[in-house]
Amino acid sequence: MPTNPIEERQIRVFISSTFRDMQAERDYLVMKIFPSIRRYCEERDISFVELDLRTLPKKQKTFVKALEE
């Protein structure tokens, strides 16, 4: 059970595509859109978390690649 009230209110966004397509779109989301959403959420005590497979450690990427095959 979360001890921090903000942990109870959380929005999670998962970005998924192949590692070779949509690079520009993903970069735009991560650098321009998500920071604005994060600030908006924080003002309302909501945690905003994005998960982009490109930023996972290599070991986890290997696992994800195995799932895709």
Structural domain harbouring 54? 5-68
Residue 48 to residues 3, 51, 67, Cα–Cα distance (Å): 17, 10, 26
Residue 50 to residues 31, 34, 47, 66, 69, Cα–Cα distance (Å): 12, 8, 10, 22, 24
pLDDT at residue 69 is higher than 60: no
Could you report the per-residue pLDDT of 6-17, keeping only the tens digit for each?
A: 457 899 888 877
Q: How many domains does the chain have?
A: 1
pLDDT at residue 3 in the model? 63
Query: How would residue 2 be classed by pLDDT, with cut points 50, 70 and 90?
Result: low
Could you report the per-residue pLDDT of 15-68, keeping only the tens digit for each?
A: 877 767 788 888 899 899 999 999 999 999 999 988 877 666 555 555 555 455
